Amino acid sequence: MYKNTTSNKSPPRWATLVLRTVLPDSPVGRSVLGDLHEEYLDRADRSPIRARLWYRVTVIRLAFEYWATHPRITGKPIRRPTRRNNYMETLLYEIRFATRRLIQRPAFSLTAIAIIGLGIGANTAIFSIVNAILFRPLPYDEPETLVRVFTNGRNSDEPSAVSYQDFLSYKERTDLFRAAVVAETTILSFATDAESKAVFGEVFSSNFFSMMGLAPTIGRAFQDDEEEAGTQPVVMISHQVWDRVYGQDPNIIGRDIRLNDRAVTIIGVGPKGFSGTFVGIATDYWIPFGTSLFVEPNRAQADAERGSRGKFMYARLQPGVTIEQAERGLSVLASALATEFPLSNADRNSVTIMPANDVRLHPMIDSVLYPVAGLLMAVVGIVLLVACSNLANLLLVHASSRSKEIAIRTALGSPRWRVVAQLLTESSILGVVGGVVGLLIASLAARAIVSFQPPIPVPVTIDLSIDRSVLFFTFGLSALTGILFGMAPAIRGSRPQLIAVLKDETQTLRLNGRRFGLRNILVVSQIVMSVLLLVGAGLFVRSLRNAQHVDPGFRTEAVAMALFDVSRGPYTDQVAGKAFYERYIQRVAAIPGVSSVAMTEQLTLGLGLQTTSVHTPEMPPSSGENPPEIDFTIVSEGFFAMMDIPLLRGRAFNESDNAQAAPVAIVSETMARQFWNTLDVNGRTILLSTGANAPRVEVIGVARDIKVRTLGEDPRAFLFLPFNQNYKPMMTVLARTATDPVPVVIAMRNALTELDANVPMFEAKTITEHFAVTLFAPRMGAALITTFGTVAMLLAGIGLYGVIAVSVAQRTREVGIRVALGARQTHVVAMVMQEGFRLVVVGLVLGLAVSVLAARALSSFLIGTQTYDIITYLSVTFVLAGVAALATYIPARRAAGVDPVAALRSE
C-alpha cells in the first residue's frame, strides 16, 4: 500500500505493519488506516519530526487497546458489537474527524459559519417577531377550550366586537359555555404629584383572571360583586408596573392611586409575563366594570346600549361542545335578539366563534398581518437561499482542494458512502455552528427592528424571548441547510478523477462547463435572487417617495395637534366639557405664531377609524340588507377654512349649528355622487341608522374629497358632523402656525397643564408626525427589504468573486502561456471578466423575468407605483453590474500579473 522508502514524508514501516495487525481487515479498518496516513502527511508538511512522533504514539496507543481487549489475553468472551453500536461509533468517529479537519482550516470554516449565520440570523430574526405576534401560545390555561366570540353583520362576513348587553345575553347559554368574560381597552389618567399622564388599561369582567387561570403575584383578583356599580373601586396593576414604578414593594396592596382624578385601591399585582389581552401592546392597569363606571361615568350609557359594540368576548366551551355547535346555538340566540331589538340588532343575526389562539389582535387586523408576515419570511428566505448557494460553492471548492486525500482514501478501498458521509458531517457541523451564530445575530437584529417604535402614543412591546418554537426553527433550519446544501458538493467531491489526482495533474484541467457547471449555476441563482430582492426594495422605495407627495386633500404643513379627553378629568358632563374646550382654544389662539384653531374628533390618515350607517329616505335599505357604512368625523366651526378643504357646494358649520338647531352635516363629493349622483345636494336628508327613530340630518354642504384611511386609496365617501350638535369629550385640537409648529406643540401641552393639571394629554405632535403613522409601514418595508436585498447582493458578489478566483487559480498555466506569447494585461483582464459577466448577464436576464412575475404580489403594498416600473429595473441592473464588475476585476487583475515562468514551472 505504501512505498518502501525512508523519506520523512513516509510513516515508519514497522508502525504501518502494526496498524495492519490491530485494525480489522474491513472497509472501516482500511478507511481508518487511510485517514491516519493522510493525517500524517498533513503533519509531515509542517514538521516531519513531530509527525513521526505523533504516528508512533498513535500506533502504540491503538496496539495497547487491541492487546488489552483481545479475548485470548484477557480471557473474556468476545462481545460482538451490535449494529447500533457500530453506527454510533462510526458517527462519533466521523464527527470527531470532521471537527478536527474544520479546525485545521480556520479561514474556510469561519467564512462558511459567517455566511450560514448571516442567512439563518436574518430568518430567525423575522421568525422570532412573527412568532411573538402571530404564533406564540397565549398565556392562559386550557387553551383548547378557550374561544373568542364575534358578531356578524347581515351582509358581511367581517367579525366585529360585541356590546355589553349582548354579552350578558350570550353568557346565559350555559349549555354552551362554562364561563364567559369580556375585555375592553381604555385610556386612563394616572395622577402623580407633579402631573397627570395618560396610561393604557383594560376593563375586565370580574371573573376574568379566574376563568383564564391567571393567579396574581401578590394580593387578589377581582370578586364577583365588583362587576356592579357602587362597589369599592379597585385596580390591579401589571407585574411590569409593580417592578418599574414601585420596585416590587410588597406593601403596595391597599394603597390608593388616582385614576381619572378618582381614588381607587390596589388589590393585586398581575402574574409575571401577562401584559393584557392585546399582543404587542402592554396594558398596565386593569379595573372591573363596577370600577369603570366610577372612574368613567360616561361609560354607563355606552354599556346600556346594545348597539355600542366595542368589547371582546372570551368563553370556555362546555365539555363535549364543539365550536361549530356553539356557533350554531349562539346564532339562534342572535337571530332572536335581532327580532327583539330591531333598532340595535337588526343587522346582527349571527356570530362567529374562533379558537382564542387563532386570534391575535382582531380577525380583520390578523388578515392583514399574515400576508405581511409571509412577505417578510419570503424575503429572508431568499437571503438564506443566496447564503446557502454561497455555502455550496465554498464546499465545492473545499472538496476540490481535498481531491488528493479523497482519491487516496478511495484507492485504499474506502467506500464512497463513507466519503460522502464525512463531507456531509462537515457541512452539518458548519450548519449547526452557523445556527448558533445565527441565533446571536437574530437576537440583536430582532431587537434592533422592534426598537423602531411606530409613531403612536401607546408603546409597542413584543416579547422576543427565545422559546421552543424559535429554537426548533433555528436548529431545524441549520441542520437542513448543512445537509441539503452539502449534499451536492459531497456527491461531487466523492468522485475524484483518481489517475489525474494521483499524478498531480488537476491544475492542468481546463475550466470546462461540465466540471464547473454546478458552481456557475449556483452563482447565477444568487444573482437571480438578488435581482428579485433589489427590485422589490426599489419598488418599495419608489412607493414611499410617491406616498410622501400624495395630496391628502388638505394642507399638511405647519399644524400642531393636541389630543385629550376632558372626561378623564373632572369635566364629565357636556356643559362643563364644552366650556373647558372653549377656554383651551382661547389659550391656544393666544400662543405666538398661531393663526387659526379648530377641532376634530379624528384627523384622517391616522390609526382611528369610525363608521356609521347612512341611508336616504328616498332609498331605504332593502329588507334583510344593511345600509352602507360611511367613515365620518366630528369637527368644529372653522375646521374647513383652517385645513384648506374647499367646499364645492353649500356652507361650512357655524355658531348657529348648535344643539337647539336641526341636525346638519357636510358630505364629501364622492358621497354626494354615490347617494344622489349629483353635487347639488343641499337640503337633502340622510338617516344615520336604521329604525323608526333614526336621526334625520340635513346636508348643508359638499366638501372636496380627502384621503381617509390610506394615501393610496381611491376616493372614499366621507361625512362631517358639527361638534356643537355631536359633543365628544375626546377631541383633537389643531393649531395652524405661521412658523415652526414644534414650539407650538410644547406650548399647547403647557397650556393644558396650566388650565387644569388633572386633564391628561394623550398626545401632542405636529401634523407631520401624524402622517408618520401612515408612512410607517411602507417606510419599514422599504428599509427591511433594502437591507436584505443589499445583503443578498453582497453575498452574490462574494460568490461570483470566489468562482472567478478559483477559475483563475485553475488556469494559471494557461494564463502564463498567453502572457509568454505576448498577451497584454488588458487582454487577460478582459478575458477573465468576460467569463464572469457571462454569468452575470444570464442571472440578470432570468432575475428580471422572475421579478416582473413576482412583483405582481406586491401591488397591494405599493402607492402610486407600477410593478413594472422601468426606473427600478434599470437601477437594479446598473447596481448589480457595478458589483459584478468589482467582483470580477479583482481576480482578473491578479491573473494579469501572473509571472509566466512561475506559471509554467507550476506544472
| Amino acid at position 69, single letter | T
- pLDDT attached to residue 505: 47
Q: Over 90: is that where the pLDDT of 270 sits?
A: yes
Q: What is the DSSP string of 590-636?
A: TSTTEEEEEEES--SSSS---EEE-B-SSSPPPTT-PPPEEEEEEE-
pLDDT by residue (tens digit) across 501-540? 444 444 433 434 444 467 788 888 888 988 998 998 888 8
Q: Which tops the pLDDT comparison, 771 or 85?
A: 771
- pLDDT attached to residue 142: 86
CB 627 within 8 A of CB 154: no
C-alpha 419/C-alpha 455 separation (Å) is 57
pLDDT by residue (tens digit) across 609-652? 788 888 888 777 766 666 788 999 999 999 999 999 999 999 99
Q: Which three cell numbers stand for residue 198?
A: 395618560
| Amino acid at position 560, single letter | A
- pLDDT attached to residue 75: 44
Residues 585, 589, 592, 593, CA torsion sign: positive
| Amino acid at position 262, single letter | R
Q: Which tops the pLDDT comparison, 689 or 779?
A: 779
Query: CA of 733: how far to CAs of 605, 652, 748, in Å?
Result: 16, 18, 9
Beta bridge mates, 664: 698
pLDDT by residue (tens digit) across 14-61? 777 777 776 666 665 666 677 777 777 777 777 777 778 877 777 777
The per-residue pLDDT of the chain, averaged, comes to 83
Number of Cα atoms under 13 Å in the Cβ half of residue 893: 7
- Average pLDDT estimate for 754-762: 87
φ/ψ bin of 75: left (φ > 0), alpha (ψ from -120 to 50), beta (otherwise): left
What percent of the residues of the chain are helix, what percent strand, and what percent coil, each to the nearest 5?
A: 55, 15, 30
| Lowest mean pLDDT across 197-211, 256-270, 419-433 | 419-433
3-state secondary structure of 277: coil
Q: Which tops the pLDDT comparison, 628 or 486?
A: 628
- Average pLDDT estimate for 732-746: 94
pLDDT by residue (tens digit) across 341-388? 877 787 788 899 999 988 888 887 788 788 888 888 888 888 888 888
Number of Cα atoms under 13 Å in the Cβ half of residue 798: 19
Query: Hey, what's the torsion of the CAs at 250, 251, 255, 260, to 10 degrees?
Result: -30
Share above pLDDT 90 across residues of the chain, in percent, rounded to a whole number: 30
C-alpha 648/C-alpha 668 separation (Å) is 9
What is the value of pTM for the model shown? 0.75
Cβ contacts of 287 within 8 Å, gap of 6 or more: 201, 202, 203, 204, 233, 234, 235, 236, 259, 264, 295
Beta bridge mates, 204: 183, 288
